[in-house]
Chain A
């Protein structure tokens, strides 16, 4: 059986700046993997390159259930079963969440009746009824936006879910709710990639594998113990253990980015 997602030698640059640096990754169906990496390591870029956003120079390979997707347009990748939950979901005034997810489900080949039934069921399950008939992501709290993303995912049932910082900007109760939702969505028909720079969400869920991403590459993969190492010693500990030097560009980063270097929830 194919893995849900298999990425090999993925490189991406924008404005001749290399951001992804030969990235390899495999997520089997039924599993939840976590990618942890400091701010600026390229996590969102990875999500957008896989989703198919324009503007990147991309090379390498990404197979979704065995199908090469890097040459396909954004919507086709989505209909093949790739779905990203955005770190910053876009506000779209005047487009109701209900209408949007309905159109998306129909575009996925779901029958109109089934689409409506799924919308009702998942809206109740993820508590989005309050803003189901309001503009997409407009005027929502951070937590509501993430719930909206998970709700859409539950309706569209992707083969591969990319969850970009689904835990950021949330208070601790909301983080727990999101973690529970991700665990609840776990299914043999789906692979999940959970991207974060905090380890706190891992207190409420058990990924099958944890990958550490630094400077556009996966530098280490492991299980629970890797999360524990990060929680205790930060990315610095992983860097030292692997003999990775800090990149020269670090000096260019804004001071605020250094404060988030440690994966602790401060």
Chain B
């Protein structure tokens, strides 16, 4: 930690000119914030946490401290109780100022161990909260899925209403040989909160990860995700949706790295921006020299619903191997005119046609989320945002 603090102190705060900040303004409330020690009082359960009935265990993390955790099927530990070398951490301390801050200031965290061969049906639910006004918190979550084990994990991000605060989580998911993990993250922070999450997924041989990312909250919310397909025959699917309103910035940075042989990946991400909000997607598919038989796809579709809103979509490929099947598609634009015309030609008024189109646009993602149970509140929230916006007569 002391070494990490040194790295943190030495690293310059970004100026905004870095590649990382090319599409968004750098404006993190860093200097105004202080790390918190004692967790504040948690916010009551909302529609998302409430939607999950059967779980294999639960944890409540508030301001970076694990306040509660229990499971009858998984081994749950707090990070303070385990030796640091047992931890998998693929985020280098000097990855950036925030990663260094995490390494320096994270004082607690959750370690989930799914024992070899265990098949855990119900999801483990992590309620990840930031509540102390003006605080910076550094929650840490590590999940290790043993050989041939199966598990699912949900993380719901929430924060105290109206409070400006910073949350810098790290989430590490490690899959052993033949392991199977379904992971769903639902970022529903208050619009005053800021978050930068570093998430790493490392897959062993024949492991399968299905990852879902839903982004609704935050003033500025970034996900820095890297999926490392290291084991031969491993596969990872990442599906996600985001919907920006007001002045939100929803920012997705993904790197999918194929290193093992015969690995496959699929990224399917859809978003909408309205009002003055903006979104960023940069997705790098990197295929290493020895990764023969790789199959990889990446799709990012964006609906721009207001003149003042903006979506950036930047798919990227780095292919060092010949024997690959690879495809990517990206689009940014208003709702499709032809589709609206078709829907209206059957008698639907324009607002109804637009609603149906938006619903359908996101339904494709919702249907593919890795863990069921939250489809309805997600669809409702997306729909609510669009309808509220539509009734202000602001559709582009």
A residues apposed to B, CB below 8 Å = 51-54, 73-75, 78-79, 83-84, 86, 89-90, 92-95, 99-101, 103-104, 107-108, 135-136, 152, 156
Complex: A251 Cα to B284 Cα, angstroms: 48
Min C-beta distance of A74 to chain B, whole Å: 4
The answer to whether B346 and A51 have CB atoms under 8 Å apart is no
The answer to whether B341 and A95 have CB atoms under 8 Å apart is no
Q: Which of B134-142, B222-230, B245-253, B354-362 contacts A (4 or more CB under 8 A)?
A: B354-362
A95-B357, A95-B359, A103-B356 as given contacts; A90 in contact with B347, CB under 8 Å: no
Report the nearest B residue to A53, measured CB to CB.
B341
Complex: A203 Cα to B112 Cα, angstroms: 70
The answer to whether B347 and A94 have CB atoms under 8 Å apart is no
Is B350's CB within 8 Å of the partner chain A?
yes
A86-B342, A89-B342, A92-B342 as given contacts; A104 in contact with B360, CB under 8 Å: no
Report the nearest A residue to B347, measured CB to CB.
A78
The answer to whether B352 and A93 have CB atoms under 8 Å apart is no
The answer to whether B347 and A99 have CB atoms under 8 Å apart is no
Report the nearest B residue to A135, measured CB to CB.
B360
Residues of A within 8 A of B338 (CB): 90
The answer to whether A103 and B352 have CB atoms under 8 Å apart is yes
Complex: A101 Cα to B360 Cα, angstroms: 14
Residues of A within 8 A of B356 (CB): 92, 95, 99-100, 103
Q: Select which of A93, A107, A136 is within 8 A of B347 by beta carbon.
A: A107
Min C-beta distance of B2 to chain A, whole Å: 52
Report the nearest A residue to B350, measured CB to CB.
A75
Complex: A140 Cα to B326 Cα, angstroms: 25
Q: Mark B341-379, 1 if CB is under 8 A from A, else 0.
A: 111111111101100110111111001000000000000
Kindly list 13 other residue pairs between chains A and B, CB separation below 8 angstroms, not including A78-B347, A107-B346: A75-B345, A75-B348, A75-B353, A90-B341, A90-B342, A94-B359, A95-B356, A95-B357, A100-B356, A103-B352, A104-B346, A108-B347, A135-B364
The answer to whether A75 and B360 have CB atoms under 8 Å apart is no
The answer to whether B339 and A152 have CB atoms under 8 Å apart is no
The answer to whether A100 and B359 have CB atoms under 8 Å apart is no
The answer to whether B345 and A94 have CB atoms under 8 Å apart is no
Complex: A13 Cα to B357 Cα, angstroms: 29
Complex: A108 Cα to B352 Cα, angstroms: 13
The answer to whether A78 and B345 have CB atoms under 8 Å apart is yes
Q: Select which of A83, A86, A104, A135 is within 8 A of B348 by beta carbon.
A: A104
Complex: A84 Cα to B353 Cα, angstroms: 17
Q: Select which of B348, B361, B363, B367 is within 8 A of A107 by beta carbon.
A: B348
Residues of B within 8 A of A99 (CB): 356
Q: Mark B256-290, 1 if CB is under 8 A from A, else 0.
A: 00000000000000000000000000000000000
Question: Which residues of chain B from 112 to 144 have any CB-CB distance to chain A below 8 Å in the complex?
Answer: none
Which among A79, A99, A103, A108 has the highest number of chain B CB atoms within 10 Å?
A103
Complex: A79 Cα to B347 Cα, angstroms: 5
A75-B350, A104-B346 as given contacts; A92 in contact with B341, CB under 8 Å: no
Residues of A within 8 A of B349 (CB): 75, 107
Question: Which residues of chain B from 322 to 344 have any CB-CB distance to chain A below 8 Å in the complex?
Answer: 338-339, 341-344
Report the nearest B residue to A101, measured CB to CB.
B346
The answer to whether B343 and A84 have CB atoms under 8 Å apart is no
Q: Select which of B347, B357, B362 is within 8 A of A75 by beta carbon.
A: B347
Min C-beta distance of B335 to chain A, whole Å: 11
Which among B347, B352, B360 has the highest number of chain A CB atoms within 10 Å?
B347
Residues of B within 8 A of A79 (CB): 347
Report the nearest B residue to A105, measured CB to CB.
B347
Residues of B within 8 A of A93 (CB): 360-361, 364
Q: Select which of B347, B364, B367 is within 8 A of A104 by beta carbon.
A: B347
Q: Please, could you name 7 A-B residue pairs with CB atoms under 8 Å apart, sorted by A?
A: A54-B341, A74-B341, A75-B353, A78-B345, A92-B356, A92-B360, A100-B346
Report the nearest A residue to B353, measured CB to CB.
A75
Which among A53, A92, A107, A136 has the highest number of chain B CB atoms within 10 Å?
A92
Residues of B within 8 A of A84 (CB): 345
Complex: A15 Cα to B356 Cα, angstroms: 31
Residues of A within 8 A of B342 (CB): 86, 89-90, 92
